[in-house]
Amino acid sequence: MAEIYFNALDYNVVGDGKTNNTTAIRRITEMIEKRGGGTLYFPPGEYVTGTIELADNMTLYLEGGAVILGSADPADYPMITKEQLPGYNREGHSGLIKAFRKSHVTVTGRGVIDGRGQNWWGDPKNESRPRAIQPILCDNVLIEGITIINSAMWTVHPMCCTNVTIDKITIKNPWDSPNTDGINPESCSNVHISNCTIDVGDDCLTLKSGTEDDELQKQYPCENIVVTNCTMLNGHGGVVLGSEMSGGVKNVTISNCVFNGTDRGIRIKTRRKRGGSIEDININNIMMNNVLVPFVINGYYQCGGVSPDDMSLFSLEKLPLRGDTPIIRNITISNIRAKNVTASAGYIYAIPEQPVTGISVLNYSVEMLASDEEPKDKPIMAFHVRKTRGEGLFCANIKNSILRDISIKVARGNGLELLNAENVIVDNFFVEGAEQTTKLTKCSRVKITE
């Protein structure tokens, strides 16, 4: 059966950059849904619209020269409520492109989606802003070829989806735009992200699985994820895991990527009472330039959902294990080359009652720059922050781990500092410019060999 094809201009859609086409486009998508699928084609032109809701077996195709312009009217983005989506605690406007409980949906072509986030960024605390592309509880999602700019909030946000492919897309949001992450798979499985360029105002790519209060998302781990051949520019992190990790993040490979100016390169973040685990993560063959720190694992990340008076969350003392104590284990970071690094050659500060276990840092080369500038953000909260400017590798509360074939050129301080480390092998560690090559505090069974 031939695929049903709809040219938007044949159905009262106007590409003049002024006419609001929300209603006209909705009528087309309703026809596609009744017919069991089809392609909605946008030829060159500028199309103002609110939410476009995809149907089963639907392709949204943007020709080169076609631009979707997000409407400035919040009413054009229907609210997603807790009643509509039980267990979803982040009520907000529907995405500019949205799919809900659909299968085989595609957004493709050579055109542009412009979220016109400038209509929303004036209130950065408003997290109900629409995503640019938002599939929810969908199966077989394909996003390829397009360019997305000026997203109002997170740009591509598949949530509780399976079999997601994101290929050859470009994302560009202003460096100072609030919460405009690039690609955020949340509680998704079987995800392939490749050949993308991401330049945004927050994290370039983040893997999430909900907070302890997100009853929907934490039912689904974020698992079986591949990220490859991508370029990450600016932003607060190249690839970030957490802090929303209550459903778990596992079985992840990140390889063959370039990070430039991303503040942190790889960032893993959580805190007490968040629960979940981050495990079986393989990070390989990454080139980094002009980052604060190539990788951070932070068990003291300050995030929401807790009373600001509950300072026990951020205590450096060893507390009793709980059912909601987060777990980080089996992380391999290998074949990393980072230069023009300003804050630290690497930073791990896990909580003492649940050390990071099974971390391997292999074939790792870092060149630090001397800098008196404070880092833009602190790896842990300010009241017990350890200042790291131009210093080496710092690891607190790690266990059963290997640091091998490491070369670090520092501007000051220690080459390697271990605090509360147990059963750690340090092999072929070379440091230049350090005041002290290694510093061990409260460590046991640490073996250092040349």
Which tens digit of pLDDT belongs to each residue from 107-150? Answer: 999 999 999 999 999 999 999 999 999 999 999 999 999 999 99
| Residue listed under structure tokens 């074949």 | 335
236 an active-site residue? yes
pLDDT of residue 308: 61
Of 76, 202, 214, 263, the catalytic one is: 202
Q: Residue 98 CA to chain centroid, in angstroms? A: 19
CB 230 within 8 A of CB 257: yes
pLDDT of residue 137: 98
**Taking the model in full, what pTM does it have?**
0.94
pLDDT of residue 89: 86
Of 93, 104, 157, 236, the catalytic one is: 236
pLDDT of residue 438: 94
202 an active-site residue? yes
pLDDT below 50 — which residues of the chain? 1-2, 373-387
CB 263 within 8 A of CB 376: yes
Chain segment 412-429, per-residue pLDDT in tens: 889 999 999 999 999 999
Which residue pairs from 421-429 have beta carbons closer than 8 angstroms and sit at least 24 positions apart in sequence?
A: 421/395, 421/396, 421/397, 421/446, 422/355, 422/398, 422/446, 423/399, 424/395, 424/398, 424/399, 424/400, 425/401, 425/449, 427/402, 427/403, 428/404, 429/403
